[in-house]
Structure formats: structure tokens, C-alpha cells
Amino acid sequence: MLARRLWAWPLAGALVISLVGFWVRSRVEEATRTELASRLQTVLNADIAALRLWFTEREYDAKSFASDIQIRAAIEELATLSKKSAGSARALANSAPANTLQLHLMKLAEAQSYLDYVVVSPDKRIIASPYPMLVNQRTPRSYDLFLNRALYGDLAASRPFAREATLSQRAEGPTMFVAAPVKSTNGAVIAVLGLRMKPEKEFTRIFSVANMGATGEAYAFDRRGMMLTATRFDPELKTIGLIPPGRENTAILNLKLLDPEIELHPGDRSPRPREQLGLTRMALAATTGYDGCDVRGYRNYRGVEVIGAWAWLKEYGMGVATEVAVDEAFQTLYVLRRVFLVLFLLLVMSAGAIFGFSVLVDRLQASARKSALAARRLGQYVLVQEIGRGANGMVYRARHALLRRPVAIKLLSPDLTNATNTARFEHEVQMTSQLTHPNTVAIYDYGRTPEGLFYYAMEYLGGIDLNHLVRQFGAQPEGRVIHIMRQVGGSLAEAHCTGLIHRDVKPANIVLTRRGGVCDLVKVLDFGLVKAARREPSRMLRPDAVVGTPHFMPPEAVERPESVETRSDLYSLGAVGYWLLTAKTLFEDETVEGLMARQVKDSPPHPADRLCKPVSPDLAGILLRCLAKPPEERPASAGELEQLLAGCAAAGSWSPLDAEKWWLSNMGSFETLPAATMAEKTLIIEPRQ
């Protein structure tokens, strides 16, 4: 049918070309604007994150200084003396604790590149400073925002302040502070320690790192629209008269973000006096509390048409913006407009031909695969019955045509056969076939049919996986939990010794079966996400891909996927043991993201609390040790875990006779399951390139 319709593609191409002139410009422009908005927001978020990180580091410097024993003792004495001295500046400035503070704190401040310090009492009087003339003066009202936070007991950072308002007699220009509360032994704030620094250094540098192109800039500003950082255009701003001349002068607190209504060049003047001009569109929106992104264009403080993104940081009393000139931002779009008419026709025709041919080939291949599957034969194997189906494939009960041996055949769905899924299937069978432990599912054979169906044959398991076991029969006895975990540990021990990490240990991947008269024999399945612990990572998954099942995923698999190691499997095995013992998962949440966050941050309840009855302390302790957030606090290996479990008081309480009785009583109440049942979806999140 498709072949008979291939003639329609040239006609469709002609139709597209006739319509493209009407909509391509707006569509391409809109796509470009969307991409630019995303880039601007990314740069803005990066600037804000860097700013917050920098403020946090500075605040913790202040906290560290305020926690110093000598500094804290001297400030406590000063606070007491300030009450007794009835406000005498000389008595405070010349006191022994003031001299101690000057000697000890000034060295620390200078070593960390701070200019100096100030100590402020709860009534906002200065009780210590390197400059005696400032002692006993009240702090400027403009400092209330960050001082009040510190007096409430929080760490605080200020925006830059003008020279006239600083708590200093030096003339370094604009300044800013970080402050930490100093608390008494009863927790009350007795003073605030502030450290002074220059915004021209690290503060301004934060905004100059991620500038976009030749015209992009990022900067901070206050509620009045005054610039709080220097800019890459400071020399130009001096030539057009927006900031005072002089080598030391910068845009910091010298430039107000006003819209000049024209693009300014040397010698140009705004049509109206600056006192009559309004803030730029961006500054007006930000200072009134509206965060946003404008990719349509507006004039900046130089009158240049720019696009930008901005946000108001209430906690610091400042706004942050990133902008780039419209001409540079849309330069690629302008080039595309000039070459589009030449290339578009070729692209449309080529894409149409390739698409049609690809669809045709895919349909023919899919039809061939379905036909092969309908024939109920894959190589030497005769398919008997479908017994399982997962996200990408299915499992059949089958038999070898010559040996007549029952097997389970796992194969990709014909509709989902592609390079990625096939590669992961091949990876799974290659990894699993290296393992020979009796508790690991055995792989007999694998291959690919001429039609492209990839499959592999494994031992056929009659039994029940641990997910269905608990859901159908509830919490299991301690002895049985230990018996099962020891067998899983044996399978993992072999894998770990050969340098493989399973990465998806969960109840659905562990089957209980009977084999050779032995009941409760464990088989570990699905090594499709296995990772080499001491070799190059699999080409199928990136090393920093988040993989696993959220209810049983170790915290490091969420935070640092590339750091997953053998003890990560032990965390998952501990979660499986917890499930068997309590019939409950470690955590519950409505979203996958919330569940993964709880795996990282929360500690699971004690098994006895979830089970509502006592649990042997030794078994509970082993499970909780496996579930420790830091991997180094877990058992060192699967072998060590097996020894710990063997030493539990309940280790021998589940006997072979108990297992046999259970199977005789219950084997008819559940379906025979193959080695491919998946009750909970495995999560694979690969980072964007």
C-alpha cells in the first residue's frame, strides 16, 4: 500500500513549499525565541545559583568566626561591658576584649580577604570596630534588612552599599557585608558579627563568568534600580557620561537602570533629562516583584535593543538580570532566512524520500518478524505458550526441538525491535551467561532469526517471585527471610567477584522455585542493567544514568549514579528483606521524584514498627545496616552479609521440611511464573547530552 502511494510525496512536497512561505518565518522565529528564552533562563539560574553559593560560603565564614572561642568570649565581654559602661564609646573601644578582638579577628578577616569587621548590639549600636570613632554609633537604616535577619538568629548577607553609608572610615568605594549572630549559652542573640568586603572583586566576578557572546552581560541591581555590579561596558559608560570618569569608578551604585529612549553613543543625549526618564522595562518589572523573560526585545540602560531574563531575590533585597543584544541573539536566524529558500526544497524532498523508504523497510521487517513469530518457531526452539510480557518484549514457554527440554524464551517485541533495545538484550544475555551460581538463572542459548528477532533461552522456572509471594501470602517468617536473603547473597557474591553489579535487585527479579526435590530454591533474574565494577561502563547506558527500581534503589544511584558499587546491591537486598519481613516497602510517595528523594534523605522505620510486632534485634540490625545511607556503613561484601545472616538466632528456624510443607500446601494457589515477571517498572533516566 505504501509503495503505491510513494508518488504522492513529490505532490506533498510541492504543497508544503507553497505554504511554507506563509508560516516558516514566524515558526522559525518562534523556535529561536523559545531556545533563546531557555538559554537566558539557564544563564540566569546559573548566576543565581552561583550567587547563592557564594553568599552561603561567605555566611559560613562569618559563622565560623562567630563560633571561634576567643572571638565569642571577647564579644560576650563587650556585650556585657556595653550595658555596664552606660554607652561610653571610649570605655568600649579601649577595653581589653576590644583589643583581643582587634588582634585576633583582624588577622582572620584579612587572611580570608575581608576588609575589616564590625560588632553590632541588639539595639543596633556598634560595640566593636577597628575604627574607634565608629564605636557606640548607630548603624545606618539601610542596613536593617540584613541586620534584622542576623538578630533573629540567621546568617545574612547584604547588597552593596554606597561609601557614605559604610561602617568604615576607609575610602575603598562601595562595600558589602556578611553577618552571623553571636549567641549566649542560653541561645539568645547578644550581638551580630559583620565582615566587610569589596563588591568589585568576587561579587562582580560571579556575573561576568557566564556572559552570552560579545554583547551579553549579567548584573545585579537594588530596589531603586541602581546597579550593584560592575559591567563589561564600564569604559563605554564613561564615554557616554552615564558614570563619572576616573579609573576607580565603576557602575556600582553610580548607574541607574533608566531607559534613555534612544541608543546612546558618545556625544548623544537622551531626548529628556535623566530625572524624567523611567526605569527600563526589565528593571521596572523586577523591582515591582515580577520575575520574567522577554525575548521580544526592549531597550536597556544604554538604549540598546536587548532580550533578557530577570528575577528578584527577596532574601538579599536585589534583582539579577542577564541580557544580550537582539542583533547578536538573532544573528543565526538572519542567516537562516537568507539560505532557507535554497535549502528548504532539497531538505523537504530528501526527508520525504528517506522517511518513505524507512517506513517501507520498517514495515516489511516488522511483517517478517511477526510472520516468524506466528510460525511458533525460533531456530531450534518451538514456542508453546506466551507466559509473560514486559515493557519491551515477551516470554514464551518453549521446548528444544531435539532435546525436548522445557525452556523459557525471552524475545523482543517485533514492534519494539530497534538498535537500542537489541543492544540491551544482548548485554543482558552476555552478562548473565558469565555467571554459574546455582542461585542465578541459567542461560542456555541465544540467537537472532533471519527476520531480525533477537531471543535467548533460559531455564524454565516453575515458582513465584518475591513480589507476588508477599502480595499473595503476606509477611514471611524471619527464618524464611534469612534463608532467601542468603541465597540471593550467594548469587550476588559471584557476580561481584567477577566485577559485575546487578543494579536492579528487587522482589520481581527474585524467583522461588523447586528444583531437584529442593524447595525454596532462589533464582536471581534480569541482569539487563548490570554494570562492570572495575571495567569500562556499558555502551548501552551512560555511566551517570539513573537506573533501578525506585522502591529498592540505593541513595547513591539517585545522587551519584556513576558511583554505584557492589554495596549498592546490598542496599537493594536489604530493601527486599525489609519487604519480605514486613510486607511493606521502605517508603511510599505519590511520585517517582518524591520516592527517590525519600530514598536519599529519609531513614526507614524500624521493621518492628511496620510489622506491629517484635522483630529479632539481630535480623533487624542487619537489615538497617544494609539500608545505611553511606555505603561504607553497610556490610563490606555479599559474603560478609551472608555470614551475618547465618549468625542470626532465627537462621535455622526455616527448615527444608517447613519449605516442603509450604509448597505442598500452596503450590496450587499461584500461577507458574517464568524467569521474566516484572511487577514494578525499572527506571532508566539517561542525562541529556
109 and 32 housed in the same domain: no
Is 585:679 a contact under the CB 8 Å cutoff?
no
| Mean pLDDT calculated for residue range 419-441 | 81
CA distance 384 to 397: 6
CA distance 136 to 47: 38
CA distance 127 to 138: 10
675 and 584 housed in the same domain: yes
**pLDDT for the residue numbered 395:** 84
Does pLDDT of 219 surpass 90?
Answer: yes
216 and 291 housed in the same domain: yes
HEC profile of 260-315 = CCCCCCCCCCCCCCHHHCCECHHHHHHHCCCCEEEEEEEECCCCCEEEEEEEEECC
Q: 409: part of which helix (H) or strand (E)?
A: strand 406-412
Q: How confident is the model at residue 336 (pLDDT cuts 50, 70, 90)?
A: low
DSSP conformation class of 439: T
606 and 520 housed in the same domain: yes
**Residue 407 is assigned to a structural domain of this protein:** no
Does pLDDT of 676 surpass 50?
Answer: no
CA distance 409 to 460: 9
CA distance 378 to 446: 10
**Which domain-ending residue is among 140, 175, 197?**
197
Structure confidence by residue, pLDDT tens digits, 465-479: 999 999 999 999 999
**Total tally of structural domains belonging to the chain:** 3
State pTM to two decimals: 0.47
Q: What is the amino acid identity at position 287? A: T
**Which domain-ending residue is among 345, 362, 395?**
345
CA distances from 62 to 66, 179, 290 (A): 6, 6, 32
525 and 554 housed in the same domain: yes
**Residue 432 is assigned to a structural domain of this protein:** no
52 and 124 housed in the same domain: no
**Residue 42 is assigned to a structural domain of this protein:** yes
- Please give the residue range of the domain that contains residue 269: 20-59+211-345
Q: How confident is the model at residue 670 (pLDDT cuts 50, 70, 90)?
A: low
SS3 of residue 412 by DSSP: strand
Q: Residue 572's domain is classified under what CATH number?
A: 1.10.510.10
Is 227:221 a contact under the CB 8 Å cutoff?
yes
54 and 72 housed in the same domain: no
Q: Residue 97's domain is classified under what CATH number?
A: 3.30.450.20
Q: Which string of DSSP letters, residue by residue, matches 555-609?
A: HHHHH-GGG--HHHHHHHHHHHHHHHHHSS-S---SSHHHHHHHHHHPPPPPHHH
120 and 192 housed in the same domain: yes
| Mean pLDDT calculated for residue range 421-437 | 79
- B/e letters for 615-626, b = 16+ CB within 10 Å, e = fewer, are bbebbbebbbeb
Does pLDDT of 10 surpass 70?
Answer: no
Is 258:272 a contact under the CB 8 Å cutoff?
no
The three three-digit cell numbers of residue 186, written as one number? 542560653
671 and 530 housed in the same domain: yes
Does pLDDT of 603 surpass 50?
Answer: yes
Q: 469: part of which helix (H) or strand (E)?
A: helix 466-473
Tally of residues, the chain: 689
Neighbours of 31 (CB within 10 A): 11
For the chain, give the percent of residues with pLDDT over 90.
40
The three three-digit cell numbers of residue 520, written as one number? 525454596
Is 92:136 a contact under the CB 8 Å cutoff?
yes
**pLDDT for the residue numbered 20:** 66
The three three-digit cell numbers of residue 462, written as one number? 516453575
Structure confidence by residue, pLDDT tens digits, 129-172: 998 888 888 898 888 888 999 999 999 988 888 765 555 555 56
Edge-to-edge strand ranges of the sheet holding 305-313: 217-221, 318-325, 305-313, 292-299
| Weakest-pLDDT range from 277-291, 345-359, 474-488, 551-565 | 345-359
Residues 6+ apart with CB under 8 A from 48: 311, 313, 320
The three three-digit cell numbers of residue 16, written as one number? 508544503
602 and 632 housed in the same domain: yes
**Residue 362 is assigned to a structural domain of this protein:** no
Is 528:424 a contact under the CB 8 Å cutoff?
yes
**pLDDT for the residue numbered 343:** 60
| Weakest-pLDDT range from 57-61, 441-445, 507-511, 660-664 | 441-445
**Which domain-ending residue is among 197, 225, 260?**
197
